[in-house]
Amino acid sequence: MSKILSLADLKKKRDELKSGLDIRIKALNPENSVQVKVAMATCGIASGAKTVMEFFLEQLDRRNIAAVVTQTGCMGYCYAEPTIEVKLPGQDPVVYGFVDLKRADQIIEKYIKTGEFVDGIIPVNYETVDLNNKEE
Amino acid sequence: MSSIKIELRKDDVDFIKGVCASFNNDPQELINVLHSCQEHFGYLPAEIQEVVSEGLNMPVAKIYGVVTFYSFFTMTPKGKNPISICLGTACYVRGAEKVLDEFKKELGIEVGQSTNDNKFSLSSLRCVGACGLAPVVLVGDKTYGRVAPDDVKNILKEYE
Amino acid sequence: MSKYSMHLLVCGGTSCHASESDAIVCNLRDELEARGLVDSVQVIVTGCFGFCEKGPIVKVLPDNTFYVQVKPEDAQTIVEEHVIKGRKITRLLYQDPVTKEPFADSKNMGFFKKQLRIVLRNCGFINPENIDEYIAREGYQALGKVLSEMSPEEVIKVVKDSGQKGRGGGGFPTGLKWELARKSVSDEKYVVCNADEGDPGAFMDRSVLEGDPHSVLEAMAICGYSIGASNGLIYIRAEYPLAIERLKIAIKQAREYGLLGNDILGTGFNFDITLRYGAGAFVCGEETALIHSMEGLRGEPTVKPPFPAESGYRGKPTNVNNVETFAAIPVIILKGSKWFSSIGTEKAKGTKVFALAGKINNVGLIEVPMGTTLREVIFEIGGGIRNGKKFKGVQTGGPSGGCLTEKHLDTPIDFDNLIAAGSMMGSGAMIVLDQDDCMVSMAKYFLDFTVEESCGKCAPCRIGNKRLHELLGQICDGKGTLSDLDRLRNMSLVIKDTSLCGLGQTSPNPVLSMLDNFWDEYVAHVTDKKCPAGQCRSLMEYIVNAENCVGCTACARVCPVNAISGERKEVHLIDSSICIKCGACMEKCKFDAIFIS
Amino acid sequence: METIKLTIDNKEVDVPRGTTIYKAAKELGIDIPTLCYMDLHDLNIENKPGGCRICVVEVEGRRNLAPTCSTKCESGMVVKTHSTRVLNARRTVMEFILSDHPKDCLVCSKSGNCELQTMAHRLGIREIPGAEFAETSKYRKDTSPSIIRDLDKCIMCRRCETMCNDVQTVGALSAVNRGFMATVAPAFEQNLEHSTCTYCGQCVAVCPTGALTEVNHVPQVLRALVDPTKTVVVQTAPAVRAALGEEFGMAPGTLVTGKMTAALRALGFDYVFDTDFAADLTIMEEGTELLDRLSRHLKGDTTARIPILTSCCPGWVNFFEHYFPDLKDVPSTAKSPQQMFGAIAKSYFAEKIGINRKDMVVVSIMPCLAKKYECQRDEFSVDGNPDVDFSISTRELATFIKQANIDIKTLQDEEFDTPLGESTGASVIFGNTGGVIEAACRTAYELYTGKKLERIEFTELRGMEGVRSATIDFNGLPVNIGIAHGLGNARKLLDDVRSGKSVYHAIEVMACPGGCIGGGGQPLHHGNSEVIKARAAALYTEDRKKPLRKSHENPFIVKLYDEFLGKAGSEKAHHLLHTHYFDKKKKIIIKH
């Protein structure tokens, strides 16, 4: 990693990364890029999120699905851990709760492959601050 | 006038001295030094505190004062499978005390004690932050969520 | 892509489930099958919508129709009217509680805007172990802006104008704190992040550090620039290994990018951060105790003044803020003080993160604007009480706070209102209690915590809290008197009035607020020797129901103290003067013949 | 200095900025009660943990009550020290403290002199509500050769911890545990004997309750006195005469030398002698050693260790044995006056009166608790018979006198017995910081220069500064003198010696602040440093009144050397009057 030497540098880097993330995924597989985020905070891990993440990594690869599996922090639905967020291309992300291996398998087989919802969806009940809209 | 003899193995003494040195033998780093020592030895018996006292050039009474102040530090070795029951509020209102009682009954020991075969030791702690899984029990690094008193026997069986 | 053209989401959360949501699912599937629609319309059971007050919920996609209080027999109407004819069923739509206007599209419903994530903006959104994702989300832009375009005074002014107050419990204005530290003259100053979240039932700091560690690092650097410090320390609980790991990674990455270290972004500003570990002492959340702990000492608080802003870590001016306070700073810098102060109430700006736990359906981490009511938090976001039980109270502020009741549910949450109601904001733990929780036992539980965590330095906290705990124990055991309740109150007031630090000054709050709000329950314990919640073992009586008892003698045989007598095939009797209330008899009885009065 | 105006109990007062409310109230004659606060201003010792919360007051506009010991005055402050709220809080906190304290006042050794008891009385506490259910914090009791620890009586004022760490830098005691079980104890809550404790007794001197007290040796002394086969000899240290009167209601600084002698005789001691005699002897031996080392040093002899350190103070000896064992050849080898006295009494004097040393019991009256330990050291006995059998403190002597129905105030002054009761003014000032080295200078000057000393009083060596230094002109030879009282101050000088930076030829160290007059066995000063200053002044007065003021002029000392020892530093003198030191540093033993 090289150092970021100025604010202008930092802005450039941000712009690259912002589009870069999308471009990277889309460039790889424009039709079928799937993003899976696993909530890996203490409560998630304690409920087995690690196993779930490994499962996705392994099975998506084995089932030949081009997908990016990443970890993230607590989504706030501690009662429903492990929780994951799945984003299919061009669609709103969907959060699933109580994801055990059986449900993970369903999610891959049904939701990711066919777009068909499976049980255990958690309705997102918050709004995140829009960071791009700055005060003048 | 009797001076205490501190008996330790040479590599243990070297380890402790090394930890102290890695923190510049600075008494302000005492808590970090104790963390490192407890991580290595599992507990902080008097002998270790004496060596730390020499390493950091500070009175051992002060070190003992710090060790006994913080609940994370212990002077007794833990069992092979340390069991911790979370008694944070979320776990408490969901019945953690009854789970703790069950462990006490099953193991025949009180909080802070180890079983005779040193297989298990029992402790309580305040909130591991997994309130969604309340009541929570930790055995070693493994977390058990939504534990009911009836589950206790099965959990213990895993370690037989 | 989906072969289905329509989805019916049915809430399968605990309380909707209790209101026959599975019957709704069955009926919907039956109706769809009857009409040959199973292949185009899918019924899905979801997790809790958090809207349990109006459950059961059925949501229709793709048009976002939100039906509330749906009954199993409504399934037919939904399929016939909505699915087939595409007409929304007005009577099932959620109505605005004020205007009584029905909402056709749930996206416009206030409920889904109740949470606003500023502090938690990146939690569950980015990979916390990848600084690039943080940067892609405007990360370190605020630091860059501050270093390149603003003077320290300007930064402090923005923070002051934003009206942000410390989220660690004290509620001291952040900007003012920074200003005091800036004004202290010294060759060396320190920025300290208090991540010693010891409040049982609070886990918001942990979540922020695990989910978005860079936001705290960035804010600390901004603070360092503002007050003139080049050293930052994060004091974190040793019990949070994952948060520690993520912080270590984040610090390493930030250093590699030159966002920590010397000459940050080519501006000549130097700032670096090191970690210090707590070792299990709640009192170290108090800033003077925290500083002593970082100095390798017993974490005992000292009298303020001098404040850390004058003389803190190693005797140098030190600014201590907690994780949540820091995490909001970059956003405040980027979006401006006006924006931040437009959120919340007149006196309390911005949002607050709460850790919602206890007898509630949606245990979890939430962030709401200041001024949101407890009712909205508990019944809408939190999804109401588990297992359909009755709400009894909510403990805010952990062991330092108080227990609020039904009558406080519509109080807008802010620092002053909670104090006026006899509680406090504290760090943000919210423990919801139901009808089964005994308020004497709860007070005793919190005092148990305080007694264990008191540092022992000052007499009222060291001994007074012990005495409070003992007296509450007496009351639970049925040995209390009415005058003991007066003594309880007097001791509580004196401990608050005379203790050295915040721990002792707030430790009697649960007792005082519970005495105020649940007086009758306390009186019941001391005069009637009854525990209305049925929690206090000594006040229970095990009784044999003569109608059910068949005289099998199982109970008498299992009783460890021989308190049960009775001939075979005759009704048994429990001698309550001998009974130790172990409950073994009740467990043994196959005929439900033993009950508790 | 900038002053600010505030109102306390409706009275206005101007105080310098930075003054605490406690001190501002004092200005107005308002005595706010406190249990933990202690300010020995002249000795630069302050203990204010703000822990007892007895001194709380109401400050207008403040949410909670303010501890006056640690709250500074602010301009326009309005303070109420006895409102209903304050009185109720103070009483309730006091009830808390008492609820965790044993109720055995009647038989407590501190009874009548206990600050907690006095405070309970002052606040009018008549009952302790809920005491029947109250758990009390209990600890293992510890008896060491000098000090008894009964921590059930500890109220966590932390004064002992301050003395042991901040003042003495001994570090034997620390606050341990947390919450209700918090107390002050040595490492691992072991006995003091296994710690680095020097038995200086400063913890005992400041303890407000009976948690820290001295070991009581009066019963053993009584047993010896009633034993017809024993000849019981008593010696009294210089500092005792300047303080004993306080125990009988006399003003601090009242000299009771003659009355004390009369009382001791009335108690039945066969010979009433004076440790001052042995102090003169110490000067002879130590002074000779100083001159010997100094002249060898000046001649370039590198084996001559300079500076020489005094060795009269047993607390100080314990201190360097624990912390500076590498320097154990630096202090003078001369025994302390107590032990010199014992050695001479059981040899020279026993011979003189024709009895076996085993039939003689030597008792010392000391301002000191370390003396109890010192006389029990193995090296200070012959075939198991100690040179000094028992050492009792000034406080124990007072109790003993009271038990024996002696009204000390009405006693006529009496003189010490001879030969071991004769002393000079030089030995009297041993009790003050700087006194030993001043006495040594008086003698060394004359022995070295052969000239008569014109100016007997070396005022440049006196005072209460923790570390003092002066250069004395030995007729053209500048001798650099360093003085430290309080072990923390001593440590600073020792560190310099260790690193070779010390500029001194001789250093006097006294373990206790103020010297022996502030010893751990003295009547309690209850935090009033004026008491210590008055005692110091008394000893200088006694010195001035003495006809002989230089140790080598003591005729009985001259006689002792003529008849028995030969000359100072002789082989016999070495055998009887000198000692050696031990390395007491903890050793880490490697296990194989």
Q: Express each pLDDT in D475-528 by its tens digit.
A: 899 999 999 999 999 999 999 999 999 999 999 999 999 999 999 999 999 989
Mean pLDDT of all residues in D530-545: 95
pLDDT tens digits for C458-509?
A: 999 999 999 999 999 999 999 999 999 999 999 999 999 999 999 999 999 9
Distance (Å, whole) CA B128 – CA C206: 10
D95 in a domain, yes or no? no
Mean pLDDT of all residues in C274-298: 94
Contact state of B132 with A80 under an 8 Å Cβ cutoff? yes
Task: Give the number of B-C residue pairs with CB atoms closer than 8 Å.
Answer: 103
- Do A67 and A13 belong to one domain? no
SS3 D25: helix
Distance (Å, whole) CA D512 – CA D163: 10
- How confident is residue A127, by pLDDT bands cut at 50, 70 and 90? confident
Query: Using beta carbons and an 8 Å cutoff, which residues of B are at the interface with D?
Result: 1-10, 13, 46, 49-51, 54, 58-65, 68-69, 71
Mean pLDDT of all residues in C551-570: 90
pLDDT of residue A20: 57
Task: Classify residue A27 as exposed, middle or buried by CB count within 10 Å of its CB (0-12, 13-18, 19+).
Answer: exposed
pLDDT of residue A21: 57
Percentage of chain D surpassing pLDDT 70?
100
pLDDT of residue A114: 83
All chains having 3 or more CB pairs closer than 8 angstroms to chain C: A, B, D
C307 touches B at CB < 8 Å: no
Q: Which of A117-126, C67-76, C260-269, C447-456 has the lowest mean pLDDT?
A: A117-126
**In the CATH hierarchy, which fold is given to the domain comprising C540-596?**
Alpha-Beta Plaits (3.30.70)
Mean pLDDT of all residues in C101-113: 72
Q: What is the DSSP letter of D184?
A: E
CATH of the domain at D150: 3.30.70.20
pLDDT of residue B2: 38
Across chain D, mean pLDDT equals 95
- Do D222 and D195 belong to one domain? no
- How confident is residue C103, by pLDDT bands cut at 50, 70 and 90? confident
Whole-number Cα distances in Å, C580 to B95, C527, C542, C559, D274 = 20, 21, 10, 9, 71
CATH: 1.10.150.240, 3.90.440.10, 3.30.450.20, 3.10.20.600. Which one for C351-434? 3.10.20.600
Percentage of chain C surpassing pLDDT 90?
56
Annotated catalytic sites of D, by residue?
286, 289, 312, 332, 371, 374, 379, 516
**Cβ atoms A74, C211 nearer than 8 A:** yes
- How confident is residue B1, by pLDDT bands cut at 50, 70 and 90? very low
CATH 3.90.1150.10 for the B81-157 domain, yes or no: no
CATH: 1.20.1440.230, 1.10.10.10, 2.40.240.20, 3.40.190.10. Which one for C439-528? 1.20.1440.230
A106 touches B at CB < 8 Å: no
Chain C, residues 442-501, CB within 8 A of chain D, namely 451-460, 462-464, 466-467, 470-471, 474, 487, 490-491, 494, 496-500
Distance (Å, whole) CA C116 – CA C114: 6
pLDDT of residue A22: 56
Strand order in the sheet with C391-396: C364-369, C351-358, C429-434, C391-396, C402-404
Distance (Å, whole) CA C272 – CA C261: 5
Q: Which of C48-57, D381-390, D409-418, D513-522 has the lowest mean pLDDT?
A: C48-57
Q: Considering only the top CATH level, what class is C6-112?
A: alpha beta
A103 in a domain, yes or no? yes
D462 in a domain, yes or no? yes
A133 in a domain, yes or no? no
pLDDT of residue B126: 79
- Do A23 and A54 belong to one domain? no
Q: Of C33, C96, C94, whose CA–CA distance to C58 is shortest?
A: C94
pLDDT of residue C90: 86
Q: Which of B82-91, D56-65, D237-246, D308-317 has the lowest mean pLDDT?
A: B82-91
Mean pLDDT of all residues in C543-549: 90
Structural domain boundaries enclosing A113 = 31-122
Residue D366 has pLDDT above 50, yes or no: yes
- How confident is residue C65, by pLDDT bands cut at 50, 70 and 90? confident
pLDDT of residue B79: 86
Residue D168 has pLDDT above 90, yes or no: yes
D589 in a domain, yes or no? no
Contact state of C433 with B65 under an 8 Å Cβ cutoff? no
| DSSP characters over A57-105 | HHHHHHTT--EEEEEE---S-GGG-S-EEEE-TTS--EEE-S--HHHHH
A127 in a domain, yes or no? no
Query: Using beta carbons and an 8 Å cutoff, which residues of D are at the interface with C?
Result: 49-54, 56, 64-65, 67, 70-72, 85, 88-89, 92-93, 96-97, 99-100, 129-130, 133-135, 155-156, 175, 177-182
Mean pLDDT of all residues in D191-217: 96
- For helices B30-41 and B46-56, give the axis angle rounded to 10 degrees: 140
pLDDT tens digits for C188-223?
A: 999 999 999 888 878 889 889 998 999 999 999 999
pLDDT of residue B5: 56
Mean pLDDT of all residues in C148-153: 96
- Do A64 and A80 belong to one domain? yes
D583 in a domain, yes or no? no
Gap from B129 CA to chain A (nearest CA, Å): 7
- Do D207 and D233 belong to one domain? no
Q: Which of D70, D135, D177 sits opposite C456 (nearest CB)?
A: D177
Percentage of chain C surpassing pLDDT 70?
98
Strands B137-139 vs B81-86: parallel, antiparallel or unpaired: antiparallel
Distance (Å, whole) CA C351 – CA C367: 6
pLDDT tens digits for A38-63?
A: 988 877 888 888 899 999 989 988 88
Residue B114 has pLDDT above 70, yes or no: yes
pLDDT tens digits for C506-537?
A: 999 999 999 999 999 999 999 999 999 988 88
- Do D201 and D294 belong to one domain? no
pLDDT of residue C393: 95
Task: Classify residue D451 as exposed, middle or buried by CB count within 10 Å of its CB (0-12, 13-18, 19+).
Answer: exposed
Mean pLDDT of all residues in C306-310: 93
Q: Which CATH superfamily hosts domain C131-338?
A: NADH-ubiquinone oxidoreductase 51kDa subunit (3.40.50.11540)
- How confident is residue C110, by pLDDT bands cut at 50, 70 and 90? low
pLDDT tens digits for B61-77?
A: 999 999 999 999 999 88
What pTM was computed for the model? 0.91
- Do A82 and A102 belong to one domain? yes
What residue segments make up the domains of chain B, in order of their start? 10-67, 81-157
- How confident is residue C142, by pLDDT bands cut at 50, 70 and 90? very high
Mean pLDDT of all residues in D409-421: 95
Domain count, chain D: 3
pLDDT tens digits for D72-100?
A: 999 999 999 999 999 999 999 999 999 99
Report the residue of chain C nearest B141, measured CA to CA. C241
Q: Which of D46-50, D364-368, D412-416 has the lowest mean pLDDT?
A: D46-50
Map tokens 């009180």 to a residue: B110
Question: What single-letter amino acid sits at C146?
Answer: V
Taking the CA atoms of residue D27, residue D32, residue D37 and residue D42 in that order, the dihedral angle to the nearest 10 degrees is 20
Task: Classify residue C63 as exposed, middle or buried by CB count within 10 Å of its CB (0-12, 13-18, 19+).
Answer: middle
pLDDT tens digits for D226-258?
A: 999 999 999 999 999 999 999 999 999 999 999
Mean pLDDT of all residues in A85-113: 88
Percentage of chain D surpassing pLDDT 90?
93
Task: Give the number of B-D residue pairs with CB atoms closer than 8 Å.
Answer: 81
pLDDT tens digits for D304-344?
A: 888 999 999 999 999 999 999 999 999 999 999 999 999 99
pLDDT of residue D589: 76
Residue C439 has pLDDT above 50, yes or no: yes
Q: Of D558, D158, A68, whose CA–CA distance to C302 is shortest?
A: D158
pLDDT of residue A91: 79
Contact state of A131 with C334 under an 8 Å Cβ cutoff? yes
- How confident is residue D277, by pLDDT bands cut at 50, 70 and 90? very high
CATH of the domain at A71: 3.40.30.10
Residue A26 has pLDDT above 60, yes or no: no
**Cβ atoms C395, C442 nearer than 8 A:** yes
pLDDT tens digits for D571-591?
A: 999 999 999 999 998 877 777
B93 versus D138: the higher-pLDDT residue is D138
Mean pLDDT of all residues in B27-34: 95
**Tokens encoding A131:** 């960071």
- Do D322 and D250 belong to one domain? yes
- Do A4 and A68 belong to one domain? no
A129 in a domain, yes or no? no
Q: Of D381, D398, D401, D397, whose CA–CA distance to D389 is shortest?
A: D381
Residue C12 has pLDDT above 80, yes or no: no
> What are the start-end ranges of the H helices in D478-577?
487-498, 529-545, 555-560, 571-577
Domain count, chain A: 2
**Tokens encoding D377:** 């050291």
Percentage of chain A surpassing pLDDT 90?
18
Structural domain boundaries enclosing D36 = 3-82
A80 in a domain, yes or no? yes
